[in-house]
A and B are shown apart, each in its own frame.
Chain A
Amino acid sequence: MSESASPATAAGGHAHDESKFHIFVQLAMILAVITGVEIIMVYLPFAYGVIFSILVILSAVKFLCVIFYFMHLRWDKAFCTILFFIGLVLAGGTMWALLRIFSVSDSKPLTSSFNRAAPVHETARG
C-alpha cells in the first residue's frame, strides 16, 4: 500500500514522453561519436597513461549516459540508482582489489616476464 498515490504524478509523468524520442536519438549519435573517438585514440602516439585515462573516462561517460537516459534512472526514484550503484561499486571494488593483489610481486608466476625484468605489457608480444 502506498503512502502517497497522487494523480498529479501520473499526469506529470507523461509530459516529457514526447520529447524523449529526440533525447534518445541524439544520445545514440553522441555515443556513436564517442565510440569512434575511442577507436581512433588507441592509434594516436600519446603516452600509455594518457590514452588509458581518456579511454576509461570516455567509457564511463557512455556507461553513465546509457544508465541514466536509456535506462531511465534520471527520471526514476533515487532508490533504483542506489540499488544499482551498490552492485556496481562492489563489483568495481572487488575487481580493483583482485587486480592489485595479482599485481604485487609475490603474486607473479615464476614463468612470467617479471623475473626477466621487462615491463609487463611489452612481453605480450612474446
Chain B
Amino acid sequence: MSDAAASTAALDPHHDATTSTGIPNKKLLMWAFLASDCMFFGCLISTHLIYRLHPPPGNPDPREIFNPPLTSFSTFILLMSSLLMALAVSAIQRGNVRSMRHALLGTIFFGCIFLTCQVYEFSDFVFDKHMTITNCILGSTFFTLTGTHGCHVAVGVLWLTLMYIRSFQPAEGTSGNAWFLRNLLHMALFVAAIGLSMYLVLDLVHGLQAAALTAALPAFLRRDALFLAGAIVSYVGLNLLGRTRGPVSFNEANAIDVESMGLYWHFVDIVWIVIFTVVYLLEYI
C-alpha cells in the first residue's frame, strides 16, 4: 500500500503523484486487464474464423441468416453509447455529478438497446431461421462469440447502473442503514425497469411483425397490461430516487473509478467493431 501523501488539492485525473509512473493504479490495472481481454477475444474470434475457412457440408450460409440492417443499427447504437460514456467521464473529471448521471443513464439506455437488438437477433436466428447453438458449427461459434460479447455488454450495463446508484451516496453524517436499503431498492427498480422494457419492446415488435399496427397495438396492450404498469411504476420510482437530496460523497476523487469503467465500456465497443467487420461484413463481400 503506497504511502499517500494526502494532498487533495487540484486533483489531476491524468496524474497520480503517489505512483512511480504517475499513472493511477486503477488505470494501469484496467489497461493490463484489457490487454489480457484482447487475447481472450482474439482466441474466440479465431475459433469462429477457423470454422469459416472450411465449413462442412450442411452448414448454413450466413448470408441467408444474418440481418445487416439490424446489426448496422446495433453498431451505431454501441458507437453512440461510447460517446456518452466518454462524456460521462469528462463530466465527473470536472466535478459535475449531474451531467455525469445523465450521460451514464444515456449510456445505460443505449447499452440496453444494443442488448435488446441482440436478443431479437438471437430469437430470430433460432426460431425463424432455424440456426441454433447446437445444430451446426456456425451456430456454435456465432452464438458463443456474440453471446460472450453480449455478456460483456451486460456486465458493463450492470457496472454502469451500480456506479450511477453509487453517485447518490450521501456525504458522511447520515444514517448508514437507510442509505444501504435505498440502494437495494434502486437496484431492484433498475432490474425491473430494464427487464420489463426489454420484454415489452420485443413483444411489441413481434406483435407488429405478425399483424398490422391497428390490430397489433390493442392486442399488445391487452396482453401486457400488467407488465406495462410495472414498467411505468419502475420508471416513476427511478425518477423519484434520481432526485438529489443534499450533498453526496461523489466527486472528482471518484473520477478514476468512472474512467476505469469507461475504459472497459470502450473496449467492449472496439471488440464489437472487430466482430461486426469480421463476422458480419466479410460474409457479404
Contact = CB atoms under 8 A, between A and B. Distances in A.
Contacts, number: 192
Contacts of A72: 14, 259
Given A9-B15, A39-B281, A70-B86, A62 B42 contact: no
Interface residues of A, number: 70
Interface of A is mostly: helix
B22 A66 contact: no
B266 A66 contact: yes
Given A42-B284, A124-B283, A111 B53 contact: no
A3 B49 CA distance: 47
Contacts of A70: 82-83, 85-86, 262, 266, 269
Interface stretch (B54-62, B162-170, B240-248): B54-62
B205 interface: no
B68 A77 contact: no
Contact of B35 (A7, A24, A87, A111): A87
A70 B90 CA distance: 10
Contacts of A117: none
Contact of B270 (A35, A67, A95): A67
Nearest to B269: A66
B55 A123 contact: yes
A48 B16 CA distance: 49
A66 B55 contact: no
B123 interface: no
Interface string A73-93: 001110110011011101110
A14 B20 CA distance: 22
B202 interface: no
Contacts of B87: 21, 24
A72 B263 CA distance: 9
Interface in A27-76: 27-28, 31-32, 35, 38-39, 41-43, 48, 51-52, 55-56, 59, 62-63, 66-67, 69-72, 75-76
A1 B18 CA distance: 5
Contacts of A120: 53-54
A80 B31 contact: yes
Given A92-B42, A124-B63, 17 more contacts: A14-B12, A24-B87, A28-B80, A32-B80, A35-B79, A66-B269, A66-B270, A67-B266, A75-B14, A83-B31, A84-B31, A87-B39, A90-B42, A98-B46, A99-B50, A102-B54, A125-B63
